[in-house]
Structure formats: C-alpha cells, structure tokens
Amino acid sequence: MIENTSLPAGTAQNAVYRLSTWDISSVPWFYTAPLFIFALCSLSVLCSDKVSTDIKVPVGLLYQRYTPRWLSNAQFGVDAIGTIEKGYRKFKESAYKLIRSDVNMVVLPHSVMPELASLPNEIASGIRALERDLLGKWTAIHMIIESRLHHRMVQRKLTPNLSLVTPGIEDEVSSALSDIFPNSEEWTPVKPYYALLEVTARVVSRVLLGLPVCRNAEWLESATQFTENIFESIVIMRYFPPWLYTPLGFLLPSVWRTQGYVRKVHNLLGPLFAKRLEDLDNGTYKPAPGTQPDVFSWLAELSEGRDRDPTKLAHYELLLAQASIHTTLVREVNVLYDIIVEPRYLSMLREEIAHTQQTGWSKRSYHELHKLDSILKESQRVHPPTTIGLRRIMQQPYTLANGMHLPKDSYVCLPIYSIENDAANTENPEQFDGLRYYNKRLKNAGEPISQKHQFSSTDPTALGFGFGKTACPGRFFAGLVLKVLFVKLLTEYDFQFMPGVKERPKNLFAHEFLFPQRDYEILVRRRVGAKAPF
C-alpha cells in the first residue's frame, strides 16, 4: 500500500497510495487493521525459518536471505508491487523467489510463459494456487478444488450463449441504474465503489439466477458481502504465519460473516435447486414462456454425481457471484475514473456509441465499439485486479525446457504487472493511452482487424486473463457486462470529479491485490434528453 518510487511515473505512482498520506479515519478498517495488529506477528519469529532452498533460484531481494520469514512477508503485504518489480528488474531473464509466510513464491521469467500456460492441471494446478492464495478453508472457496462444474458451465453454456443473455443484462443495467444512480439533472455526489457494487451485483445475478430471485434482497446482500468479507479475511490473515490461521479463523468477524452468508444462500437457493432437480429427474420441468436462460438452469442440467446436490449448487452460485462481482467492480471503477480524468475520451466514446447505433442495436453492436474495448484493455493494464498471474502449484515434479526443475508442491507465477508495464513490451508504459489497442488493430486502410488486442483476447504480453487453454473462461462475459454498463452510463449520465480535483484517485494495494478507494466521491447528473440504445 506504499508508493513504489522505483516504478515509472504514472504506473505505480498512479496506482499506489502513499502510506504517509492516509487519512486513517476514511480508510476501511480491513486495510489498516493489519498495520495496527502487525506487532503480534513478531511471535512468529520463534517459529520462522530462513529461506527454503527447495528450488535453486536466487532471492529477489537480498535482505530476504537474512531476515525472518514474517518480516519478508510483511514487506510483500504492504508493497507487493514494488517487491515484485525490483526482482523483475534484477532477474528479468531468469527466475527468482520472494518470501511469504506461507510459501516461497517462485517468480518465473516471461520466456517460460507459453510452456507454463500449456501445462495441464494434473501437472501444474492454477486452481490449487488460487485456492491457497484466497485461503479457501477460511473463505469458503475450497469447493473450487473439489469440482469443475462451474468451470464447465461457463465454457459450455454461458460463453456460447452470451447473445441469449444480453437482453437480460441490458434490462437489468437499465433497471439498476434507474434505482441506484441519481435521476436529477443537478450534480449529485455519488460514491462509485458502492453504487457500482450494487449495480454489478444485480446485473451479474440476473444472469446467475434470472428473475425474480436476482433482485432478492437477501441474495444481493449475501453475494456482495460474501465477497467483501472474503477479502477482509485474506488481507488480514495473510499478514500472519499459517500456524495462526486457525485461531484467527475463530477470532475474525469477517470469517464468521463469510460462513453466515454461505448458510443464508444454502437456505435460500437450496430448496429452489432441490425442486428443479426433482422436476428434471421426473421429466416435468418446463420453462415458462419467454424465460431467458440462466446459470441456475445450466448448473442443474450439467450437475451429476456428487455435484447433483442442492446445497453444493447453491454454493457454486455464490462462488460464481464472488468471482464475477469483485473483478468486474474493480474494472468498472477504474475505467470510470480513467474516462473522467481525460474528457476527450468521454466525447469520443459517445460519438462511437451514436455512430454504431445508426445501423440498429444488437449483441453484435458491442463488438463494434472498438474504442471502448481499447480503453477497457488499457485500464486493466494500468490497474489490474492482481499483480501476479499464471500462478500454479506443481502437482508433480517437472523440468522446464530451459532446464529449470520445479519440485512437487512448489508455487510458481509470472509477474504480469511488470511484464505488461515493461517498455520492451509496451511502448511508453507510464502513459495511459486509451487508444493504444485500438491503434494496434488498424489496417493500413484504417479499419479494425482480426481478434487481436481486444479486451477479452489473450496475448503474450497482455496477461490479465491468463493465456492459452487455461485463460479465464469468464472473460467474454466480463467484457460484455462492462460494455453494456458503459454504453448506458456514458450515454445517459455526466460525470466529473469534485471541484478542485485534477487527478484520478489512487488505488490501494494489499498483498498482490488491488482495491479502489471505497469512500471516494464524484459528481453525477442525468443528461438532459439523452437515451441509450436499449
């Protein structure tokens, strides 16, 4: 969470909050609590060890060879982005390791990325690495390593049927913005984080559950607060050594609340899934006329064996909500700030939307919003939800083509933020260029080409969604939701920072995760006579 002055200006400096400038009273307690209670970690020095030598690679920061594990972990927690960047600059073409309290994190060079991405889960498991980083046992995310049902559903049902769910997304965006954003034509203070959290939860839930359950107050509270409390637990617990996780799990209110929201969702959705499964088994299920497809139906249809359990299916819905809401919200808030701080983008995007609308509006229209797509991708480059990617836990020993041996149970990853902000990969990375990827897609004749450099496409130097067969399967859904939302927002609302504010707000980093400031306010008003295409 401290400024990393070693990174290019406009990169880390625009992303990281300087610790000395914090107004503690205005920052959520879960960001600051670790700093107040961190002294307790000194207890772990009695049980800490020096750097493990399981993998023969150098330590990214020299001092970590001599400091106790808890101190190295503390440095990573408060300045992961700077710690990773320093190692990347020193060992750009080779591997190095950084010390966390729970693991020696081996950061691999960019050159091994294609090989690492191609390894199957049986050799290198991204799911187990993610579950470890998100403390699955304490955050109720452990189910992601027990079943791949939710993953299969996204690949086989959601992504191929995005055109079928688009009308529902458009309808829910319109309804949610009308309910949550100001309808006044006068400037009104709004906290984008909280407003867009509510909007995003409703839009995602429309696809997950359909009407009317997607607007159920108990579900919406559970979906949003489950996510919020998960990250409270992660941020705090990962400042401590693993041997303290058990007592912390019993002491932290965020852990209690997480389990409480899981029980609420089991009680709310479990009976609905039980009825649907019974109807499917009996052959008596018939969707009502006009019913749009949703994830609820797809999970029930695809479930088999141990997954065909109402409680598990309800839990999968909550995990899908968590995965969708948090990362989408982070992108929404940052894209909005990036557009406000550069007014030319606002007028340019409105022109693009109006031009696209001239030939009618359909699902295909969102593919024609090339400039909006470029801004989404550039914003993700500068403000990624996480600074590391392609994280893996080795399920068996493996030797890379370059001769490096990765033992079983070793943790490896790539420094995706450093890679994407390396001048060798991105021209002038310190600058936010909203048309960067739009210009890359232009032919000589001036027409956008192919599928390269799109927000949802993967690229060897744009790794926000991973790469290859293991890339995030939900990236196409995320891109669609973002575009629908911004078409509506930019067409029907005006935005500006508070009087006197010239720069966009800085993000907070805790461990490898990025968080927008929750309580930051901007001004919003309805545009007179403006109407979105839907």
Per-residue tokens: 58:
């150098």
Region of residue 156 (phi > 0: left; psi between -120 and 50: alpha; otherwise: beta): alpha
Contact 272, 213 (CB under 8 A): yes
**How many C-alpha atoms does 433 have within 13 Å on its Cβ side?**
13
Q: What is the Cβ-side half-sphere exposure of residue 180, based on CA atoms within 13 angstroms?
A: 21
CA 171 to chain centre: 24
CB of 333 within 8 A of CB of 516? yes
Quick one: tokens of 468?
């290859």
Residue 446 CB neighbour total at 10 angstroms: 6
Residue 444: exposure state from Cβ atoms within 10 A (0-12, 13-18, ≥19): exposed
Q: CA of 399: how far to CAs of 119, 402, 408, 415, 444, in Å?
A: 11, 8, 11, 20, 44
SS3 state of residue 180: helix
Would you state the structure tokens that stand for residue 80, as one six-digit string? 């992961």
Q: How many residues does the chain have?
A: 534
Q: Do the annotations mark residue 41 as ligand-binding?
A: no
Are the beta carbons of 359 and 388 closer than 8 angstroms? no
Closest to 401 (Cα-Cα) out of 201, 113, 158:
113
* Strand order across the 96-99 sheet: 96-99, 104-107, 411-414, 389-394, 124-125
- Residues at the annotated binding site for heme? 472
- Residues at the annotated binding site? 472
